[in-house]
Amino acid sequence: MTLDKLLQSQGFGTRKYCRQLIHDGEVCINGEVVTGFAHHIEAAGLAFTVHGEPWVYREHLYLALHKPSNFECSRKASHHPGVLTLLPEQFLWRDLQPVGRLDHDTTGLLLLSDDGAFIHAQSSPKRHVPKVYEATTQEPVTDALVQQFLDGIQLIDEPQPIAAQHARMLDAQRIEIILEQGKYHQVKRMLAAAGNHCAALRRTAIGGLTLATLGLQAGEWCYLEAEQLALLGNASM
């Protein structure tokens, strides 16, 4: 792959702009400035710098973000900033998309990728990937509420009651819920149907991938490597 094409594939701009970067001496490989854009190089695992900032070539992006409140999971946000504004600018050139959505006021673990096959596979309801949520409730959490989630709660637009894979009380006004279905506003609607109200919601895990092990603070992101990607959908909760 030529260097200008490599930079373009990594989201640094148009082919013309990437050639200008190279011509201006802004690209280094192995500590040396490269000024020839037509030089063919081995892309896989290539480490390079642009404007002095280090990068590694990645054919696709697989990211985890600790989504803060009041950010929209949309490339075209309308009422709040979009989650993509929390990421490096060149990622926007790579058609990076959230894998599924969290409401603007819901926080926690969000996956993003530019790999269409990965996005489709992770979003498919046939995968039954467990997702763990912590909900803060307006009314106290009771044993009866926990049991309702385990037994199944009837939602207006669903033919059958929907049950949580697991549910437990965390404290007087917090409940942990593990769901597989991924229905629209599912936790909030289930709580409302059970006679309570969701005051705050946070997703803490997808499959075996958890915010705790990633160590991300609100607004922080990281690359997901092969070992972490293997945890998605493959862990028993």
**What integer pLDDT is reported at residue 234 of this predicted model?**
44
**What integer pLDDT is reported at residue 38 of this predicted model?**
86
Question: Parallel, antiparallel, or unpaired: how do β-strands 27-29 and 106-113 relate?
Answer: unpaired
**What integer pLDDT is reported at residue 92 of this predicted model?**
87
**What integer pLDDT is reported at residue 39 of this predicted model?**
78
Instruction: Please work out, in degrees rounded to the nearest 5, the angle formed at the alpha carbon of residue 178 by the alpha carbons of 176 and 181.
Output: 140
**What integer pLDDT is reported at residue 77 of this predicted model?**
66
Secondary structure class of 166 (helix, strand, coil): strand
**pLDDT of 216-228, one tens digit each?**
999 999 999 999 9
Min mean pLDDT across 107-116, 155-164, 226-235 is at 226-235
Residue 231's pLDDT band, with cuts at 50, 70 and 90, is very high
3-state SS record for 58-114? CCCCEEEEEECCCCECCCCCCCCCEHHHHCCHHHHHHCCEECCCCCCCEEEEEEEEC
**What integer pLDDT is reported at residue 237 of this predicted model?**
30
Q: 4, 24, 95, 103: which is the annotated catalytic residue?
A: 103
**What integer pLDDT is reported at residue 235 of this predicted model?**
37
Task: State yes or no: pLDDT of 122 exceeds 90.
Answer: no
Percent of the chain with pLDDT over 90: 73
**pLDDT of 94-115, one tens digit each?**
889 999 889 899 999 999 999 9
Domains of the chain: 3-56 (3.10.290.10), 62-125+209-229 (3.30.70.580), 130-206 (3.30.70.1560)
**Are 5 and 15 within 8 A, CB to CB?**
yes
User: Residue 105 catalytic?
Assistant: no
Residue 80's pLDDT band, with cuts at 50, 70 and 90, is confident
* Closest to 224 (Cα-Cα) out of 74, 80, 114: 114
Average confidence (pLDDT) over 58-75: 93
pTM: 0.89
Task: State yes or no: pLDDT of 189 exceeds 80.
Answer: yes
- Distance (Å, rounded) from C-alpha 142 to C-alpha 88? 43
- Distance (Å, rounded) from C-alpha 163 to C-alpha 152? 4
**Are 99 and 224 within 8 A, CB to CB?**
no
Helices (H), 113-225: 116-123, 143-151, 186-193, 211-214
Q: Which residue(s) pair with 84 in the sheet?
A: none
Q: Which residue(s) pair with 179 in the sheet?
A: 131
- Distance (Å, rounded) from C-alpha 81 to C-alpha 95? 17
**What integer pLDDT is reported at residue 124 of this predicted model?**
77
Q: What are phi and psi of 128, to 5 degrees?
A: 55, 45
Average per-residue pLDDT in the chain? 91
**What integer pLDDT is reported at residue 121 of this predicted model?**
86
